[in-house]
């Protein structure tokens, strides 16, 4: 299976395991779309916005010298957008409704982000 197919399989499985998720995407840290399962947004635009949010989070963490950025969750009145670092060159974004169990999101998404980071790194080093 091709690496991009493996990334898509990871995000598809994550979406199936997490109730109330309406979209998942993977982008490079430069904002280029890698894979998506999200009909609720324009994936290319959202990938760029997610990368901007990741960059801001990384700068905030660097300023307070708290280690490496891992994730950020934006909470709104009707849901959540969570962005997870996926290695050093990619990110995982999860879009969900307000019924989402945020603890379960972290439990399910963190290992997926790690695997996606490995897949993307493998492609880059080829």
Q: Which domains does the chain have, with CATH numbers?
A: 3-124 (3.30.450.30)
25-36: pLDDT as tens digits: 999 999 999 999
% pLDDT > 90, the chain: 84
CA angle 111–6–12, rounded 5-degree value: 70
Q: What is the pLDDT of residues 44-80, one digit of tens each?
A: 999 999 999 999 999 999 999 999 999 999 999 999 9
For 62, what's the count of Cα atoms within 13 Å in the CB-facing half-sphere? 6
Q: Which of 30, 39, 33 is nearest to 4 (CA)?
A: 33
Structure tokens at 27: 């982008």
Q: What are the φ and ψ backbone dihedral angles of 64, each rounded to 5 degrees?
A: -95, 5
- Residues 93, 25: contact at Cβ < 8 Å? yes
Q: What is the pTM of this model?
A: 0.93
* Sequential DSSP letters for 14-58: HHHHSTTEEEEEEEETTS-EEEEEESSS-HHHHHHHHHHHHHHHH
- Residue 2 φ/ψ, nearest 5 degrees: -70, 150
Cβ–Cβ < 8 Å for 120, 7? yes
């Amino acid at each position: 299976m091709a690496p991009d197919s493996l990334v898509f399989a990871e995000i598809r499985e994550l979406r199936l395991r997490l109730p109330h998720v309406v979209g998942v995407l993977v982008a490079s840290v430069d904002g280029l779309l890698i894979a998506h399962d999200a009909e609720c947004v324009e994936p290319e635009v959202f990938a760029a916005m997610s990368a901007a949010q990741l960059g801001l989070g990384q700068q905030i963490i660097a300023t307070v010298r708290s280690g490496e950025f891992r994730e950020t969750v934006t909470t709104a009145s009707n849901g959540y957008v969570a962005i997870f670092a996926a290695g050093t060159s990619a990110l995982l974004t999860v879009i969900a409704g307000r019924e989402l169990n945020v603890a379960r999101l972290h439990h399910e998404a963190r290992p997926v982000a790690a695997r996606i980071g490995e897949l993307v790194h493998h492609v880059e080093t080829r």
